[in-house]
Amino acid sequence: MSEVLSAAELQERLSRSPFIRFLGLVVTEADPARQCVTMTLEMRPEFERIAGSGQWHGGPVAAVIDTVGDYALVMTIGHPLPTINFRVDYLRPAVNTALTVTARVRRAGRSVGVVDVDVMDAKGTLVAIGRATYSTA
């Protein structure tokens, strides 16, 4: 807990991963007091569910839940943690919109960390929620 990463430091760590660069995640807030990080990402053609629909496929939505959830723990632990498992619930379609993803640590234990993730569209409507468990050992 001695080293708390800033938004810029989290962004630098994100850039080391080819897959995360492909997602295009941008850190907009890193709040160690609330154990909360927020990132945004734009739609890109490869994320589309059906050609021309503008609708996000669930795959990249799940992937950002996994990643942003991880970085809520990275902020205080300093390095990415292996995901043990996660659940994603799709609540509404996301169409022609950027996404805002907020992850909040529910428990940072010695062996396991649990994080809740909310995914919203550009209007602030909830489109998906995630709950993920990471190995902190």
Choose the binding region for a copy of itself from 26-34, 71-79, 97-105, 108-116 (rule: CB under 8 A): 108-116
Q: Could you say whether residue 104 binds a copy of itself (CB under 8 A)? A: no
10 Å CB burial of residue 66 (0-12, 13-18, 19+) is middle
Give the C-alpha distances (Å, rounded to integers) separating 92 from 63, 70, 127. 17, 23, 5
Choose the binding region for a copy of itself from 2-10, 34-42, 96-104, 128-136 (rule: CB under 8 A): 128-136
Q: Could you say whether residue 111 binds a copy of itself (CB under 8 A)? A: yes
CA 49 to CA 69: how far, in whole Å?
A: 23
Residue 38 vs 67, nearer CB to a copy of itself: 67
Look up tokens 């800033």; give the residue: 6
Q: Which residue, among 75, 117, 113, 83, has the nearest Cα to 99 in the 3D structure?
A: 117
Q: Which of residues 24-43 bind a copy of itself (CB under 8 A)?
A: none
Residue 32 vs 49, nearer CB to a copy of itself: 49
Q: Could you say whether residue 101 binds a copy of itself (CB under 8 A)? A: no
Q: Which helix (H) or strand (E) holds 26?
A: strand 26-31
Residue 2 vs 26, nearer CB to a copy of itself: 26
Residue 30 vs 127, nearer CB to a copy of itself: 127
* Contact string (CB under 8 A) for a copy of itself, positions 44-63, x = contact: -xxxxxxx-----xxxx-xx
